[in-house]
Structure 1
């Protein structure tokens, strides 16, 4: 029988309920019995000892909050009796750190089929990118999107358009009763899922980005936007790019070109730029359409071929987290990260607001004092900006997080950090900085799902693993995002969104290590061209981070 309870760390004074525990029940773990006066829902925690007001709550072996009133042994922690707290941190207080790398011998000869680029990196997909340097060009980008996707077979299925057409027909017949009585499909009709024929079989898609920036904001935001687009241009999943510019905006074409050269001095991918104010809209769009089409004929010459797993760059992300995130899916990603690092690959841990409370451990793991100092500065600057506008990291947990057991930001963060495994931290990257070496790297992004995946992709992730306990459809235009469920109930409820299930860890039918190895097998398939659910749904989320406060 699977365990009903879990104590995550020996020094913890809370226990996690893996199943609903009704009020009045007596439960036991490790020889200790607990009388539960109140019910404890699955994913929530109860204390192992009487806690006085101001007393520390320890989970994952770290401080995650303090009692705002006395909490009796066996009583659950809630937003009413607990407030966020976490230990301070400092580069000056770094302690020696060591870890044992897992055995990776079985993975050393493995490969995936990717697109080899001239700079030595390997793409998991082969995309053409179309971007506007300013929001004024969003409409033109969307017009190009409709034309290219429909005519080249990249458009999503028209099942909802078909439904509207059927509703209109019934309405015109005066048959409102049939419309009202129609039951929605649980799954899309099979016929609607058929893949259309594509003339460019080696081009995985033409991706069209839109945004609300480029002018009217700060020059810092405009320059950051150019840096972000430059990072996408040099990304191994992008084979060519078309840029639409109005001509007078703050995000100048020269700035973009300079940022590209900064990241890749030998950049030679097809790059076409068009300025609206030099002529008519028709001349702009006709020129962009023609050159983009010609570019597609060129990049269609690329073909997938074998690449070592050391060419993987795996983003580690969580969103829609629950009380199981830190004990199933996130530790699974952590072990996978250690495996990828062990074979010479790259992993990217983002979301700085969700590292709140575990900073000292991460500082200890940095390979140099310089890297640690950079991490501390980025964290303190970020936290300071949040506090200055009355929005501290402690406000990070969403209502959904809290409902499902993540009572404080420190609880959420300690569980989120498990995605980074135990490896040394090889580098620390600011937003839009490119990861250039192997190993685990910290990437400064908000916790916001799409701002974070947008930033991880800019750092160079060629696949992102995204854990979720509540469910989210988040994707990215050029980097496949695989959704990893913390529990089987979610995986079964949202099969069109979830790619991989870590529920067996909660059920006790698989160890973290076994589940992580199965997930790595899935990663190899995605890196070789198997579409994630987000890709199948056309979930191309893209939100640039304006370097203000975003949690």
Structure 2
């Protein structure tokens, strides 16, 4: 029989850890399967009446839309999304969360100490378009610099990166959309992995360089540079000026050297995409174990994707460090309910077709697995999209669930490393913060060896303890922070994953 896993004694479903063929009884009871069922999918451990709760991880993931026989496949054909209770009060598990912060021995990584005290894991020059009109200019400039071979003479420079996007004009000059974009642009320009930045605008757009500089109170003498196409003599002349500016900056940026720095200086973005039924069993909780270790070292981990904690938010609210932290998270969830309804959608529009093919049926089920990335320590702060946290430890950032948009916000908030779990397979990468990708199952790790940095499938296939996998992952995070190249970096991914969150009217 195909192997199965029961995650909690209270669960009325078991998880297939390998494909079950047609005609089999995976649990040795009940009806035989009328068709083959893939790994990661659910099998009923007992008869479940129509309208009864279906439970996984010890929590409700929906209700039976029809009577389900013992041994039957449980999925979209017989399991439906439902409303969910709050499951507890804000902060009532805080003491338990505080005891989950591990005691660790001090540990270091080799990073670039910046003048403001922050530490970079990479040493790059950023070209940032303030508007879509200047996107081609910065891309062409970055491409010409890279192809020229000039960077070969500067081994401590990790590249020149063009951050181009599709907005910056035809938008409100205030409000959530404008706030998001200016936080993202400024957050990337001043990121600890960026040694110098050049803003390039058209000149007449809504997102004005001068206004941004005034808002953030920087004179831009050392790290901030700006020019516009209209003032520079057009496209060709602007590209030439950008290249000349970068050539002047290269010796300065190349002078930076790595030095031992404490793990407390690290901020790690927690992300998942292309999830499957094993994501919440292997890679996500393994990342949660690594997150707890990093918090024990005084570091920061940033959980995000607000629509993908929906239904599992109580697991965060109950360990909120302060009442106002929980209240802010609740407020963002209510905003998302209204935002989705206004656009004719449902919070259960997520999981995606690929998630469902991998065994995830409802957003309640997906969220329970997604929250596991954040580990078990206190939730210390909730920040807006692209906002820079003021606290250490576990932080929640309000972002969409769409990976490029979410990671763009996390990096703007200062994350120097991204850890990305996937069960279906993802070709994601990011800049200036490198992405480490974790496979949730052995088959994916074998199928996409050029994309996956670490296999977590052995948590199930070989019984590797989650604590051991978390420690292995922390070693990989430290090595990456110290300069080890990730699979996505080696593939050159990350240029097209800079996607600021657009909210509001296009005018």
TM-score range, shorter chain: over 0.9
Superposed, 1:63-74 pairs within 5 Å as 63-74=60-71
Q: Within the alignment, does 1:61 sit opposite 2:48 as a pair?
A: no
Structure-1 residue corresponding to 2:167 = 213
Structure 1 residue matching 2:61: 3-state secondary structure: strand
Give the Å deviation of 1:290: 1.4
| 288-297 vs 433-442, greater mean Cα deviation | 288-297
Q: Within the alignment, does 1:475 sit opposite 2:441 as a pair?
A: no
Structure-1 residue corresponding to 2:486 = 532
Structure 2 residue matching 1:34: 3-state secondary structure: coil
Structure-1 residue corresponding to 2:112 = 115
TM-score by length of 1: 0.86
Q: How many residues align?
A: 496
Query: 1:392-429 deviations in whole A, cap 9, x for unaligned?
Result: 21001111110110011111111111101111001111
Superposed, 1:248-327 pairs within 5 Å as 248-261=204-217, 269-281=222-234, 282-327=236-281
- Structure 1 distance, partners of 2:61, 2:115, is 47
| 372-381 vs 387-396, greater mean Cα deviation | 387-396
Structure-2 residue corresponding to 1:75 = 72
TM-score by length of 2: 0.93
- Describe the shift of the 1:42–1:548 C-alpha distance in structure 2 as closer, same or farther (beyond 3 A): farther
Query: 1:293-337 deviations in whole A, cap 9, x for unaligned?
Result: 111211111001111111111111000111110000000000001
- Describe the shift of the 1:119–1:267 C-alpha distance in structure 2 as closer, same or farther (beyond 3 A): farther
Q: Within the alignment, does 1:236 sit opposite 2:176 as a pair?
A: no
Structure-1 residue corresponding to 2:19 = 20
- Describe the shift of the 1:142–1:103 C-alpha distance in structure 2 as closer, same or farther (beyond 3 A): closer
Give the Å deviation of 1:286: 2.8
Structure-1 residue corresponding to 2:32 = 37
Query: Structure 1, unaligned stretches of length 5 or more?
Result: 155-197
Preserved CA contact (<8 Å) 2:155 2:254: yes
Cα RMSD of the aligned pairs, angstroms, is 2.0
- Structure 1 distance, partners of 2:214, 2:219, is 12
Preserved CA contact (<8 Å) 2:90 2:320: no
Give the Å deviation of 1:270: 2.1
Query: 1:205-264 deviations in whole A, cap 9, x for unaligned?
Result: 110111110001333323421221111122110111001111111111133214443xxx
Preserved CA contact (<8 Å) 1:24 1:35: no
Preserved CA contact (<8 Å) 1:234 1:267: no
- Structure 2 distance, partners of 1:91, 1:61, is 15
| 277-286 vs 523-532, greater mean Cα deviation | 277-286
- Structure 2 distance, partners of 1:3, 1:104, is 40
> Which of the two has higher C-alpha Rg?
1
Q: Within the alignment, does 1:359 sit opposite 2:313 as a pair?
A: yes
Superposed, 1:96-107 pairs within 5 Å as 96-97=93-94, 98-99=96-97, 100-101=99-100, 103-105=102-104
Preserved CA contact (<8 Å) 2:273 2:420: yes
- Describe the shift of the 1:433–1:403 C-alpha distance in structure 2 as closer, same or farther (beyond 3 A): same
Structure-2 residue corresponding to 1:500 = 454
- Structure 2 distance, partners of 1:27, 1:527, is 43
Structure-2 residue corresponding to 1:328 = 282
- Structure 1 distance, partners of 2:65, 2:341, is 21
Q: Within the alignment, does 1:147 sit opposite 2:144 as a pair?
A: yes
